[in-house]
Amino acid sequence: MVTYRQYQPEMDRDSAHRIWMEVGWIDDREDKKEAMDLLLGASRSLVAEVDAAAECLAVSTEGTLNYLDETLPFTGVTAVSTSRVVRKQGLAKELTARLVAEDARAGALVSGLGMFEQGFYNNLGFGTGSYEHWMAFDPAELTVAFEARVPKRLTVDDWEAVHASRLARLSVHGGLNFLPPEITRSEMMHTKGGFGLGFFDGPEGELTHHLWMGGSDTEHGPYSVWWMSYQTGDQLLELMALLRGLGDQVRLVWMREPPNVQLQDFLKQPFRFRQLTEKSKFENRMNASAYWQMRINDVLGCISRTYLRCKTVRFNLQLTDPIEQYLDKGEPWRGVGGRYVVTLGPQSIARTGSEYGIPVLKASVNAFTRLWLGVQRASGLAITDYLSAPADLISQLDCCMCIPRPQPDWDY
Ligand SMILES: CC(C)(COP(=O)(O)OP(=O)(O)OC[C@H]1O[C@@H](n2cnc3c(N)ncnc32)[C@H](O)[C@@H]1OP(=O)(O)O)[C@@H](O)C(=O)NCCC(=O)NCCS
């Protein structure tokens, strides 16, 4: 007998820790458990209870998504985990579906997550995002022509300033912000060998730009830059110069390519070092991986906030949403499957229903979310995903949805 309900810390804390210990996300240390408690305390958390113990846990955290120049309400599914004793009984899928439904009802126009593998969350309507580039390089090879000043050290104690600095960073299309400051504190506590460097250049001495990194071998690395926040190009250059400054000792740094920047531009001889370090502990390389997913929770809400610089395109949208089959009968939010009349352009609008005499776009919510976000153009999705329309409409959508690659710039 399974009961789905809200997480209750007094009752479920130990079982929740046990789940995360079983999946290897924390160990028995108190500070790791505290980091987990902080995340749960600042988020919406649901559990599936089996034999009087919480055995499956799903967590989502409130945030915002930048869609072109708009800021939309968003929630990120920050953790889904099932204990060893109840795997493959459908608990994770059902609990996550309930979580997305609660978030949608609370006003999140879009939900997102970082996936462990492609396919699982596709069942709940999530579509795969853009490739993220993670680069491993020798910091001594950075060519950045900028001298960094002496930064301030940042530790977990600076979590509030660090969180504010993250929220104030340069915003880009697809950029995410998670709102509760405890999220940053939790992430900082969770970082192995975590440390930060930054500059407090704001008018009131606010932290304007910083990086947060860590690694298990403090002496020579590899280090990973878990995030970087800056408000101007010069601030990014100063942070890169700080990384270069570590290069006499640290042999390798991993970092995600910052939005709108080609990281390779900063490297002296990228191919030479890739060859010289191949298969070593300090291998220089570039990885591309599409590991985040998103889904629209409210078609009318998302379309009404879509302002495109294109001629108007009008079509019937027939949308399917696989999440419905995992929702409880009593759940009022049933996903976004259905028929809509959509107008995309400088002023976009959608309404439910259909209209005679305009073309039909058939899509899953997964594929439609990817189209709307700018992950892939309609002509590509028509080949690889569940999206189809007459050729004329596809080429109009290719023109119309020509928007920048979405870059969340916040992993979770
Ligand atoms: C991922 C995890 C949460 C799934 O928990 P679960 O309760 O066993 O999941 P469910 O029972 O709801 O779903 C399992 C089903 O999904 C299927 N599935 C797994 N990966 C899949 C994929 N990539 N594509 C499609 N289906 C997949 C399984 O085969 C299984 O189907 P079956 O029961 O027909 O064999 C669990 O394995 C876990 O806790 N893993 C470690 C932590 C983790 O990685 N969490 C996810 C973070 S994003």
Model pLDDT for residues 254-263, shown as the tens digit of each residue: 999 999 999 9
Does 115 sit in the ligand 1 pocket, CB within 6 Å? yes
- Which pLDDT value is given to residue 12? 98
pLDDT tier, 107 (very low <50, low <70, confident <90, very high otherwise): very high
State the Cα–Cα distance between residues 362 and 339, nearest whole angstrom.
Answer: 9
Distance of alpha carbon 136 from alpha carbon 205, whole angstroms: 33
Q: What would you report as the CA-atom Rg of the chain, rounded to the nearest whole angstrom?
A: 23
CA distances from 31 to 26, 27, 37, 192, 394 (A): 9, 9, 10, 12, 52
CATH 3.40.630.30 residue spans of the chain: 2-108, 133-289
Mean local confidence (pLDDT), 49-66: 98
- Ligand 1 mutation target, pool 80, 96, 289, 326, most atoms within 8 A of CB: 80
All CATH 3.30.1050.10 domain ranges of the chain, comma separated, are: 295-400
The CB-based long-range contact list for 31-39 (8 Å cut-off, 24+ gap) reads: 31/189, 32/189, 32/190, 34/189, 35/185, 35/186, 35/187, 35/189, 35/190, 36/186, 37/9, 37/13, 38/182, 38/183, 38/185, 38/186, 38/189, 39/78, 39/79, 39/182, 39/183, 39/186
On whether the CB atoms of residues 241 and 146 are closer than 8 A, the answer is: yes
The protein residue whose alpha carbon is closest to atom 29 in ligand 1 is 88
Look at residue 387 in the predicted model and tell me its pLDDT: 98
Give the mean pLDDT of 40-51.
98
pLDDT, the chain, mean = 97
Asked whether 389 and 368 are in contact (CB, 8 A), the reply is no
Q: What pLDDT shows up at residue 251?
A: 97
Average pLDDT, integer, range 239-244: 98
Angle at 245 between CA 239 and CA 250, to 5 degrees: 110
Structural element, H or E, at residue 310: none
Percent of the chain with pLDDT over 90: 99
- The pLDDT, as a whole number, for residue 8 is 98
Task: Give tens-digit pLDDT for 8-37.
Answer: 999 999 999 999 999 999 999 999 999 999
Q: For 182-215, how does the pLDDT look when each residue is reduced to its tens digit (9 = 90+)? A: 999 999 999 999 999 999 999 999 999 999 999 9
- From the CB of 21, is ligand 1 less than 6 Å away? no
Residues 6+ apart with CB under 8 A from 70: 305, 306, 307
pLDDT in tens, 337-369: 999 999 999 999 999 999 999 999 999 999 999
Assigned architecture for domain 295-400: 2-Layer Sandwich (3.30)
Structure confidence at residue 286 as a pLDDT band (50, 70, 90): very high
* CATH assignment, 133-289: 3.40.630.30
CATH of 2-108, one of 3.40.50.720, 3.40.630.30, 2.60.40.1180, 3.40.50.2300: 3.40.630.30
**According to the model, what pLDDT value does residue 370 have?**
98
CA distance 89 to 51: 14
- What are the pLDDT digits (tens) for 380-406? 999 999 999 999 999 999 999 989 999
Task: Give nearest CA residue, ligand 1 atom 28.
Answer: 88
- What are residue 114's DSSP bridge partners? 292
